[in-house]
Homo-oligomer: A and B are copies of this chain.
Amino acid sequence: MKELAVECNVSVATVSKVFMDSYEISKATKKKVLEAASRLNYTINPYASSLKNKRSKTIAVILPEVADNFFSLAINGIQSVAEKKGYHVLIYLSHENFIHEKSIVAECSNGRVDGVLISVASETISGDHIVKLQDENIPVVFFDREFENLSVAKVITNDYECGYLAAAHLIKNGCKNPVFLSISSCLGICKKRSEGFLAALKDKKTGHPETAVIECNGTKEEDNSQIKKLLQSKNRPDGIVTSVERLAISVYLVCHELNVSIPGALKMVAFSTLETAPILNPPLTTIVQPAFDIGKTATELLFKEIEKKECKIADQIIILPSSLFERKSSQIR
């Protein structure tokens, strides 16, 4: 900037003001400086700028994993609005691990980011790290996976209703013993989905509510063998609802291996945004979350607070409904 200043015979203050597009500077000098800048291809140093403004123009996105198609789509939504605002997006992966998530969140509190979007890990058992972040005046928005009972803005889907819907759908189609595969009993998303699921079981007086929610929170191999055992047990279910995408794939793989016919012996509904759902064998009935919109809306909400248009977003809850796509995996045949 100093070089540019001497090149143009002005002060650094003037150059800075040109880049801020200040009204104090005449058209003529603005033009002169900008031309010289592009000639020397000079651009503002973002960190010096951040230091001065206390604005990083960066947000953090904390995800449990990125292999799930849901999160890929959500990232797209997030990116689309961040970019429009001229913001940069830092990605962090918690790998479903609470300790890891805490250390990531801690990294976000020293001014590195202006806001945080987070979908909590399945192993997260406390919201203290999030509260601490808010205490440091960093806006936070949960998207999809919230941690309950916190005064934090959230963009989620209608999990309870969808849990209910999934169970009701299976029961309507003849299931006598449907089960729900959860990944965590702490996770808001799983709790609500399973609660809705159980409510349907009770309403329809079907199945065994006491044992109908099964937790799969191991490695992929552990989950697979757990599912295998489940499908070979004497009280094996005739219907499964999976709470996340990867469990749906596991169930399919196990069924192919054990020759369990879907939907003949087992009907399935999956919470999933899998693009390949219609071309699976058999086509998979899915409850699909509006992943892109969840990401987009959460980011818009975050910016409301970052830009102080709306000072307190903390208690705002936005619910974007999911929808059931009925396919062969859950049909009567």
Residues of A within 8 A of B (CB): 43-48, 50-51, 56, 58, 65-67, 69, 71-73, 75-76, 79, 88-93, 106-107, 109-112, 249, 252-253, 256, 274-276, 278-283
Contact = CB atoms under 8 A, between A and B. Distances in A.
Contact of A249 (B112, B279, B281): B279
Contacts of A71: 72
A192 B27 CA distance: 51
A75 B51 contact: no
A47 B43 contact: no
Contacts of A93: 76, 79
A51 B47 contact: yes
B110 A44 contact: yes
Nearest to A256: B279
A87 B119 CA distance: 21
Given A88-B90, A90-B90, A276-B280, A48 B46 contact: no
Contact of A45 (B45, B46, B73, B110): B110
16 contacts: A43-B109, A43-B110, A44-B110, A45-B51, A47-B50, A47-B56, A65-B76, A66-B72, A66-B75, A67-B69, A71-B72, A72-B72, A88-B90, A88-B107, A249-B279, A253-B279
Nearest to A73: B67
Contacts of A253: 278-279
